[in-house]
Amino acid sequence: MLFLKQDNSDTALRAEKLPPKLFIFSHRDPDHSYFILEDERRIGQAALYDDGFSHTLLYCRFYEDESEELMRHAVAVAANRAIVLFHPSIIYSYSHDLRMKKIFPVNQFYPKGEMVLRTVEPWRYQIADSCFDREGYLIDQGSMHGLPFGWFDTREKGCGWIAAYNFLKLNGKEKTMQEVAEELEKNHLLGEMFGENFFLLAHYLRQQELPIHTAFGKGPVLRAMKASRNGILLYSRKLFGGHYIAYRVRSDGSLYVYNAVYGKVSHHMFPDEFFAHYAKGPKAMLAYVGQNEKVL
């Protein structure tokens, strides 16, 4: 699990060799400086600078031999911390580390001269920060008032697009929340009256150039989940009907699940436990990426 730990030492990370357009952040201490930890292991540092005018600089440095996937998750954590602290409209960054050329795009940063920037979408500030976990995955549909989905509010019928948003982010295909919701909405003539159609959802995910497999029924779904990298599960909840969640498989075979229990942070359990606790009805349908398929 990735954490940011405040670093107030004399060796705190400072921005250096800034591109000219970022000189406004030079010759000053960062507003916040962090060690980036995977559990207790230090993998890098991050620094945040804010100009007070809705612009924030995120500067990260990673140690050698860290995996691209770990770095991707770490940048997501740091970017989400910048959003929560400063509510910027634009996050700037840069790096002289060649590995970051792959990391920035999958965290919604795009190149602008010698730097990269990320425009924070308006929907992000229409819902509470508590709707997101530390990496920016959506975990609290119950608090997502006011975001439209078809004829309904996301709080009522939005679990399908929320799962799709989280799943795309898990696979390095992140889009804005509004893009995902509106693209899925176009597939439905009845304005999402009956919720998200599983087969249309799987088709949409394949259109994003992801190697999507499917499984149906509790037995096949459980086996497929255990052999997957991540996925979207549609299951029956005893009192509330069908519900979509996204999940990713941890190194010990347990799952991180998103938006299964509204607002629950770091929700992880094994597939059999999840079905025993939450999947009460007969419905079980799965769209997933295989364990050994590299999509980033």
Domain with CATH 3.40.630.30 in the chain: 2-120
Q: Which CATH number fits domain 2-120: 3.40.50.970, 3.30.465.10, 3.40.630.30, 3.40.50.300?
A: 3.40.630.30
The CA-based angle 273-278-283, given to 5 degrees, is: 110
Q: How many CB atoms lie within 10 A of CB 99?
A: 13
> pLDDT, tens digit, for every residue of 233-269?
999 876 567 899 999 999 899 999 999 999 999 899 9
> pLDDT, tens digit, for every residue of 196-231?
789 999 999 999 999 999 999 999 999 999 999 999
Closest to 286 in 3D by CA, of 210, 229, 231: 231
Any idea what DSSP says for residue 205? H
Average pLDDT along the chain: 90
> pLDDT, tens digit, for every residue of 162-196?
999 999 999 999 999 999 999 998 866 544 444 67
- pTM recorded for the entire structure: 0.90
Beta strands in 69-129 (DSSP E): 90-93, 110-112, 115-119
Domain with CATH 3.90.70.10 in the chain: 137-290
pLDDT at 136 exceeding the cut of 90 = yes
Which pLDDT score is estimated for 191? 43
Q: Which CATH number fits domain 137-290: 3.90.70.10, 3.40.50.720, 3.50.50.60, 3.30.43.10?
A: 3.90.70.10
Long-range contacts: 234-239, Cβ < 8 Å, 24+?
Answer: 234/198, 234/283, 234/284, 234/285, 234/286, 235/275, 235/278, 235/279, 235/281, 235/283, 235/284, 235/285, 236/279, 236/280, 236/281, 236/282, 236/283, 236/284, 237/278, 237/279, 237/280, 237/281, 238/280, 238/281
Which pLDDT score is estimated for 238? 65
| Cα–Cα dist 186/207, whole Å | 14
Amino acid sitting at position 211: P
Residue reference for tokens 């390095």: 172
